[in-house]
A and B are shown apart, each in its own frame.
Chain A
Amino acid sequence: MNILIVEDERIIAQRLERFIRAGLGSKLHVLQTAPSLSAARLQVYDRPWDLVFLDLNLKGRDGFELLQDAVASSFHTVVVSAYTDRAFEAFQYGVFDFIGKPFDEDRVAKTLNTFLSNQRGQSNTRTLAVKKGRDLKLIPLEDVLFIKAANTYSELHLVSGEQELHSKGLEQLGRVLPNDWVRVHKSYFVPQSRIQSWAAAPGSSYKVILTGNIEIPVSRRRYMAFKQTWLA
């Protein structure tokens, strides 16, 4: 696992490092610390990161812009901040977890475990940030009809008919989606609220029909699980 820590206070960065090393042991591949924003911007392209621990308040300045940039990336972001009242906001942007300061070893271990066990994060995502060239575009999740895997990226199909590409793969993006988003297929995430009906298609394949008569394929395994949920 590759982990980057963005933290300007050396002692706190060292503390995080200590806990991460202890928590991951041999699973840790690379652990680096960026003491400033400019350093972080360079290091972020060094290698494919899995997790970035981000202090939102570098040198007393608000790092929310940085946060939007981070959540649009392929890696997951864990915010480490003194401003616990900003946690709710951070979760809406799709951060994986939020660690309030001061923190202890157990708290960091919990985040790492959640991540390692492929569970969903704490997020309550309302908005997805998408990189468009050098700019960021913020897309309210309610405008998204469904999400489809596209190689290492994800395609966001919007209600308006447009499509946007998110840097996270479907697997990773799924981990920050709210619980009412269900994975109906290896390549599809749909929001439960948009499902109108489900149907068995000829040739023992299955599908769900979303509002606007959009048909999304459903895998058999997921159909069975889905049916149970649906009938329950």
Chain B
Amino acid sequence: MHRTSVKRIVIVAAGLIGLGTLLSSLSTHWGRTDRPERARVRAGDQMVWKDPAFDDSDWLTYSAWQRLTGPYQGNLWLRQPLKLGDDPSVNTFVLVAVGSSEVYFDGELIGRNGVVGDSRDTEVPGSLLFMCSIPGHLLKPGDHEVALRFSNHRGISRFYLLGAGIGSIQDVVSFTRRTLFPFLFLSVFLVVALYFFVLYALNRQQASHLAFASLCGLTGLLLFVESIRSFGYPYHWHGHRLYLVMILSGILAGLVPLFFILHHGLSRRWLIGIPAALLVGAAMFHRSLDQVSFGFFTCAFIYAQAVVCFAFLKEKTDSWIGLLGINQALIVLALTRLTFLEQWLFGCFTLLIVLMLISLSLQSRRQRAQFQEARLRSARLQIELLQKHLQPHFMLNTLTAVMEWLEREPKAGVAFVGLLAQEMKTLNRFSSQTLVSLEEELRLCRNHLEILAYRNGEEYPFQTVCENPDLEVPPAIILTLVENGVSYALDEGTLQFEMRQRITPTGRVHIDFKAVGVDIHIGEADDGTGSKYIKARLEESFPGRWRLNASGNEQTWVTNIEFEGGP
């Protein structure tokens, strides 16, 4: 299939998934669907309400009471009919509620969770999770009435009944085991987070590592804060815990798009969308803390979807991995809706984190390969620079000329040897550098031309104009141009060189080099070692920010080198 059509299909599908998730979350019925609607509630505190025969028909149902009351602190009762079967092992009453409580079974007190009081001072906070066994004489098959006496003077926001029911000890134990299961993941998240924190702290190069570390760490933290419920804690912590969950959810949700923006190196402008998405999420689902958390995830995922789609369109490396991760999260969110936070969030984030990890590993493998390549290239260039002058044609011809001068005119011979030594010293120093000042480079060129003058008995004029001779260039690139010029010098006539350095107001450095008196046809045909060396050197110091143009006419060979100043 055509590349662009594949791309189009992927983007359309991703868009539909994002839209579907949004619609699904908007159509979600808030209020607990599994809430026992038989439960009736009344604010206040009268002991007659424990009586199973008491007529509570004028009490409000739990959900109606919640709707009407909103935030509540004080005393209240909750009454609920209960049916017992034949199974005698079902003898444990489990209560999860935000308040101190007393449990009355058919009017008989069977459990106390903290001390119910009429004020903050008289109340002793009970645990969020409470269990008590139903005494044997009450365990008769048939209909029963449970009355729950609550006080939540230390509560924050609303009173919540999260669950009330009966079961066997086995049920309770297996439930507790299930809730401990997420703790297995905790250490994994924390170790991965620690690893990437350290990685970031040591290199300080990739912000995406920090984002990923935070993402893992927060997932672990959120997991801990969510799962701690099954350990039970004083009921009044519950509100604080919900706030904490909301805040952690908000940060965690925001980190998802942040990670992909950093990982794919997108424009910083994308960052503005993250707080915007979180605000929209909070505004759309503001009715309870749980809802706000849900809104954070929904909107942040949808925004992350936009981010990864953009990265995919821009053909960023491995962007399909992010696309996969976000879409699985969106699909899970759309399908599970309310239960997402409690049951699916961690599975979903585990998968997302694994995909991110794969993406990061691939990236780091690529970077390692690039680094290796760059190092090899630098080493090769170093060798090339030295080799240029150790190659027999230069070295042995020069030595032959040295012999001749020493025999014919010892003084000139000694001066010649001095020049040669100077060139060797300079090249040796240059070989370990990737940039040298233009002034040094030009000095090397002049030195080299003097050597050639001794060898060939010819002077080569070299005119230079520099705006800033301190500005750096890769070593021996102008020398290479000079050598090329000498190699292709015409058999007749004089050879001369000109070099002009210009700096544009935007900071681009132009080096215009001209060799007059060369055979331009040979120069044209040659893309040999000379220009290859120059290009490799420019790429080494100014990756992607340089240009080299060469052209020739009428015995003149012009080379324009252009790069952005500063490596």
The 8 Å CB contact of A12, one of B401, B458, B487, is: B401
* Majority SS at the chain B contact face: helix
Bound CA–CA A152/B357 (angstroms): 84
| A82 proximal to B (CB < 8 A) | yes
Docked-complex contact A102 and B393, CB < 8 angstroms: no
Docked-complex contact A60 and B393, CB < 8 angstroms: yes
Stretch at the interface among A32-40, A119-127, A142-150, A197-205: A32-40
B405 surroundings in chain A (CB, below 8 A): 11
B177 to chain A, nearest CB (A): 80
A37 surroundings in chain B (CB, below 8 A): 491
Docked-complex contact A102 and B392, CB < 8 angstroms: no
Asked, given contacts A10-B458, A11-B454, whether A103 binds B392 with beta carbons under 8 Å apart, the answer is no
Asked, given contacts A14-B404, A15-B403, A104-B403, whether A9 binds B491 with beta carbons under 8 Å apart, the answer is no
The 8 Å CB contact of B396, one of A10, A15, A82, is: A82
A83 surroundings in chain B (CB, below 8 A): 392-393
* Number of A residues, CB within 8 Å of B: 24
Bound CA–CA A36/B400 (angstroms): 19
Bound CA–CA A230/B489 (angstroms): 58
| A59 proximal to B (CB < 8 A) | yes
A67 to chain B, nearest CB (A): 16
Q: Mark B388-405, 1 if CB is under 8 A from A, else 0.
A: 000011011101111111
B158 surroundings in chain A (CB, below 8 A): none
Bound CA–CA A33/B404 (angstroms): 17
The 8 Å CB contact of A9, one of B392, B403, B456, is: B456
A186 surroundings in chain B (CB, below 8 A): none
Docked-complex contact B487 and A101, CB < 8 angstroms: no
- The number of inter-chain residue pairs (CB within 8 angstroms) is 61
Bound CA–CA A100/B455 (angstroms): 17
| A57 proximal to B (CB < 8 A) | yes
B403 surroundings in chain A (CB, below 8 A): 15, 102, 104
Tell which of B399, B400, B404, B458 has the most Cβ of chain A within 10 Å: B400
B393 surroundings in chain A (CB, below 8 A): 57, 60, 82-83
Interface size class on chain B is: 20 to 34
Docked-complex contact A9 and B401, CB < 8 angstroms: yes
B69 to chain A, nearest CB (A): 96
| B505 proximal to A (CB < 8 A) | no
Bound CA–CA A103/B405 (angstroms): 13
A84 surroundings in chain B (CB, below 8 A): 392
Which residue in chain A gives the minimum CB-CB distance to B454? Answer: A11
Bound CA–CA A74/B309 (angstroms): 77
Q: Mark A17-55, 1 if CB is under 8 A from B, else 0.
A: 000000000000000000111110000000000000000
Bound CA–CA A60/B456 (angstroms): 14
Which residue in chain B gives the minimum CB-CB distance to A86? Answer: B392
| B457 proximal to A (CB < 8 A) | yes
B414 to chain A, nearest CB (A): 15
Docked-complex contact A103 and B487, CB < 8 angstroms: no
A119-171 contacts to B (CB < 8 Å): none
Bound CA–CA A14/B409 (angstroms): 13
| B488 proximal to A (CB < 8 A) | yes
A82 surroundings in chain B (CB, below 8 A): 392-393, 395-397, 400
Docked-complex contact B487 and A60, CB < 8 angstroms: yes
Docked-complex contact A101 and B489, CB < 8 angstroms: no
Bound CA–CA A14/B455 (angstroms): 11
Docked-complex contact B488 and A103, CB < 8 angstroms: no
Docked-complex contact A101 and B400, CB < 8 angstroms: yes
Which residue in chain B gives the minimum CB-CB distance to A39? Answer: B491
A77 to chain B, nearest CB (A): 19
Which residue in chain B gives the minimum CB-CB distance to A61? Answer: B487
Tell which of B397, B454, B487, B488 has the most Cβ of chain A within 10 Å: B397
B445-480 contacts to A (CB < 8 Å): 454-458
Which residue in chain B gives the minimum CB-CB distance to A56? Answer: B393
B401 surroundings in chain A (CB, below 8 A): 9, 11-12
B499 to chain A, nearest CB (A): 21
Docked-complex contact A102 and B487, CB < 8 angstroms: no
**13 A-B contact pairs sorted by A residue (CB < 8 Å):** A9-B400, A10-B457, A11-B401, A11-B405, A11-B456, A12-B400, A12-B401, A15-B400, A36-B491, A38-B491, A60-B393, A82-B393, A82-B400
Q: Which 4 A-B pairs have the closest CB atoms?
A: A82-B396, A36-B491, A102-B400, A82-B392
Please give 18 more A-B residue pairs, beta carbons under 8 A apart, in addition to A14-B404, A61-B487, A101-B400: A9-B456, A11-B401, A11-B404, A12-B397, A12-B400, A12-B401, A12-B455, A15-B400, A37-B491, A39-B491, A59-B489, A82-B397, A82-B400, A84-B392, A101-B397, A101-B399, A102-B399, A102-B400
